[in-house]
Protein backbone atom coordinates (compact mmCIF):
# COMPACT_ATOMS: atom_id res chain seq x y z
CA UNK A 1 0.00 0.00 0.00
CA UNK A 2 2.74 2.45 0.91
CA UNK A 3 4.70 1.74 -2.27
CA UNK A 4 1.77 2.88 -4.40
CA UNK A 5 1.30 5.96 -2.21
CA UNK A 6 4.98 6.90 -2.53
CA UNK A 7 4.88 6.45 -6.30
CA UNK A 8 1.70 8.51 -6.56
CA UNK A 9 3.23 11.30 -4.47
CA UNK A 10 6.37 11.26 -6.64
CA UNK A 11 4.41 11.58 -9.87
CA UNK A 12 2.24 14.39 -8.45
CA UNK A 13 5.36 16.21 -7.26
CA UNK A 14 6.98 15.88 -10.69
CA UNK A 15 3.79 17.19 -12.34
CA UNK A 16 3.83 20.20 -10.02
CA UNK A 17 7.53 20.81 -10.72
CA UNK A 18 6.90 20.66 -14.47
CA UNK A 19 4.04 23.12 -14.07
CA UNK A 20 6.16 25.53 -12.03
CA UNK A 21 9.19 25.38 -14.35
CA UNK A 22 7.25 25.57 -17.61
CA UNK A 23 7.36 28.94 -19.45
CA UNK A 24 3.54 29.00 -19.49
CA UNK A 25 3.19 27.62 -15.95
CA UNK A 26 2.84 29.42 -12.66
CA UNK A 27 3.59 28.69 -9.03
CA UNK A 28 -0.14 28.90 -8.26
CA UNK A 29 -0.84 26.32 -10.96
CA UNK A 30 1.84 24.06 -9.51
CA UNK A 31 0.31 24.39 -6.04
CA UNK A 32 -3.16 23.57 -7.34
CA UNK A 33 -1.77 20.62 -9.30
CA UNK A 34 -0.02 19.30 -6.21
CA UNK A 35 -3.16 19.66 -4.08
CA UNK A 36 -5.71 18.27 -6.54
CA UNK A 37 -3.58 15.48 -8.02
CA UNK A 38 -1.43 14.64 -5.03
CA UNK A 39 -2.23 15.53 -1.45
CA UNK A 40 -6.05 15.43 -1.40
CA UNK A 41 -6.55 12.12 -3.26
CA UNK A 42 -3.60 10.51 -1.50
CA UNK A 43 -4.89 11.54 1.91
CA UNK A 44 -8.33 10.17 1.10
CA UNK A 45 -6.88 6.91 -0.19
CA UNK A 46 -4.69 6.38 2.87
CA UNK A 47 -7.58 7.22 5.21
CA UNK A 48 -9.90 4.70 3.52
CA UNK A 49 -7.28 1.96 3.31
CA UNK A 50 -6.26 2.53 6.94
CA UNK A 51 -9.80 2.01 8.29
CA UNK A 52 -9.46 -1.75 8.97
CA UNK A 53 -6.27 -1.21 10.94
CA UNK A 54 -7.80 1.58 13.03
CA UNK A 55 -10.85 -0.58 13.74
CA UNK A 56 -8.65 -3.53 14.73
CA UNK A 57 -6.56 -1.38 17.12
CA UNK A 58 -9.70 0.14 18.70
CA UNK A 59 -11.25 -3.29 19.30
CA UNK A 60 -8.01 -4.59 20.82
CA UNK A 61 -7.87 -1.59 23.16
CA UNK A 62 -11.50 -2.12 24.19
CA UNK A 63 -10.89 -5.80 24.88
CA UNK A 64 -7.79 -4.98 26.91
CA UNK A 65 -9.75 -2.42 28.93
CA UNK A 66 -12.52 -4.94 29.61
CA UNK A 67 -10.04 -7.63 30.65
CA UNK A 68 -8.19 -5.17 32.88
CA UNK A 69 -11.39 -3.99 34.57
CA UNK A 70 -12.39 -7.53 35.52
CA UNK A 71 -9.02 -8.56 36.99
CA UNK A 72 -9.04 -6.29 40.05
CA UNK A 73 -10.56 -7.44 43.37
CA UNK A 74 -13.70 -5.63 44.49
CA UNK A 75 -13.24 -2.51 46.55
CA UNK A 76 -13.72 -2.95 50.25
CA UNK A 77 -11.73 -3.30 53.46
CA UNK A 78 -8.05 -4.00 52.99
CA UNK A 79 -7.34 -7.70 52.86
CA UNK A 80 -5.25 -9.18 55.63
CA UNK A 81 -6.02 -6.43 58.15
CA UNK A 82 -8.37 -6.88 61.07
CA UNK A 83 -11.23 -4.42 61.29
CA UNK A 84 -10.91 -1.68 63.88
CA UNK A 85 -12.45 -2.41 67.25
CA UNK A 86 -14.69 0.14 68.83
CA UNK A 87 -13.93 1.26 72.36
CA UNK A 88 -16.88 0.91 74.67
| pTM strictly above 0.75 | no
The answer on pLDDT for 72 being more than 90 is no
- pLDDT tens for 55-71 read 999 999 999 888 877 66
Count of domains forming the chain: 1
Please check whether residue 77 lies inside any domain of the structure: no
Asked if the structure places residue 6 within a domain, the reply is: yes
Who's near 9: CB < 8 A, 6+ residues apart? 38, 42
Q: Confidence class of residue 77 from pLDDT cuts 50, 70 and 90? A: low
Q: Is residue 39 part of a domain?
A: yes
Interval 2-43: pLDDT, tens? 899 999 999 999 999 999 999 999 999 999 999 999 999 999
Residue 76 resides in a domain? no
Q: Which residue range(s) make up the domain with 20?
A: 2-53
| pLDDT band at residue 83 under the 50/70/90 scheme | low
Amino acid sequence: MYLVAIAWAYVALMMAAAEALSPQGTILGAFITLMLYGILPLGLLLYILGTPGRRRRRRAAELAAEADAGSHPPAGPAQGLAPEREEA
